[in-house]
Amino acid sequence: MQKFKLLAIFFIGALLLSSCGEYQRVLNKGTSEEQYKMATKLYETKQFSKALRLFEKVTPVYRGKPQMERIQYMVAQSNFNTKNYTLSGYYFDRFTQNYPNSSKKEEAAFLSAYSYKLASPRYSVDQTDTKKALLAFQQFINDYPTSLRLDEANKHYKELRFKLETKDFEIAKTYYRTAAVDYRNYRAAITAFENLLGEYLGTSYKEEALFYIFKAYHDYVLISFDAKKVERIKEAMTAYERLVNTFPKTKHIKEVNEMLQTLKEQEQKLAKS
């Protein structure tokens, strides 16, 4: 029994070595036709990394030929399956542009957007791929309003938008947090929160943004010279009214009312001076 096991292992090893040797031969010295056939076979057997090396070899030869449509799709799909998502997003997008009449165009358009979404990093770093994904999903939604993938596309689009909202919200909060060191950041924070509200209508951060706008105005009053306080108190009062009119039961109501009282006391002191 042990002898048969050893023979089986030897046989499998020999096959692997032979296969490896054949791959290297075709990769380095094979004809374009051999490389294309082997790349296709490797793709079909899910050996995507090896297939990509061969597709890279044959692409210049087959450019403009009928086989190129299939090659370009397999290159995009191979990058997707090896988790090279930024590249797969790019190649799927190129496929839709190069082959507008392909039966795979809708699928490629969706996978381009989805690839960029998978490449999208956490909100705190560069969001280039997130923005590419948003644009691609929006284009897909516009181009395929009856697609079976429409609900999924809308779901991904909302998740990506929320990621950008979160990034902008955290940037605005950073301005507020650093205002104690640089008072000019109170104004920067207010502007950043206002931009958030203008850019993302219906944002889930609306209550928090309005709260921080009021809080920034309030804190700015406290560090201001008396000559500037009257105008800034008015701005703060307007921000207060905007918050409580929009969210009468805001979870920050206790802190908000305490800040309002402080502003009124400041106003009274100015009136007496």
Q: In this structure, what token pair is assigned to residue 33?
A: 């036709």
pLDDT in tens, 216-231: 999 999 999 998 999 9
- Which DSSP letter does residue 84 get? -
Taking the C-alpha atoms of residue 35 and residue 112, their distance in angstroms, rounded to an integer, is 26
| Residue 273: inside a domain | no
Structural domain includes residue 47: yes
Q: What is the pLDDT of residue 273?
A: 73
Q: What whole-number distance in Å separates Cα of residue 167 and Cα of residue 174?
A: 11
Mean pLDDT on 31-40: 95
Q: 10 or 79, which is more confident? A: 79
In a domain, 40, yes or no: yes
Q: How confident is the model at residue 265 (pLDDT cuts 50, 70, 90)?
A: very high
Within a domain: 166? no
Per-residue pLDDT, averaged over 224-253, amounts to 96
Candidates 144, 119, 142; CA nearest to 131 is 119
Closest to 76 (Cα-Cα) out of 109, 35, 29 = 109
- Say whether pLDDT at 14 is over 60: no
In a domain, 59, yes or no: yes
Q: Is residue 36 part of a domain?
A: yes
pLDDT at 21: 83
Whether residue 19 is predicted with pLDDT greater than 70 in this model: the reply is: no
Beta carbons of 97 and 91 less than 8 angstroms apart: no
Q: What does pLDDT average to over the chain?
A: 93
pLDDT at 111 over 90: yes
Number of domains observed in the structure of the chain: 1
Whether residue 12 is predicted with pLDDT greater than 90 in this model: the reply is no
For every residue of 23-35, DSSP letters joined together read: HHHHHHH--HHHH
134, 153, 167 from 139: Cα distances, Å: 9, 10, 23
Domain hosting 63: range is 15-82
56 secondary structure, DSSP code: H
Distances in whole angstroms, Cα of residue 116 to Cα of each of 16, 61, 126: 36, 29, 13
Is 15's pLDDT higher than 70?
Answer: no
pLDDT in tens, 151-184: 999 999 999 999 999 999 999 999 999 999 999 9
Name the token pair of 156: 């991904």
pLDDT confidence of 8, banded at 50, 70, 90?
very low
Residue 96 is assigned to a structural domain of this protein: no
Note whether residue 216 is domain-resident. no
Q: What is the pLDDT of residue 13?
A: 44
pLDDT of residue 233: 97
Average the pLDDT over 230-244 and give the result: 97
Q: Which pLDDT belongs to residue 94?
A: 97
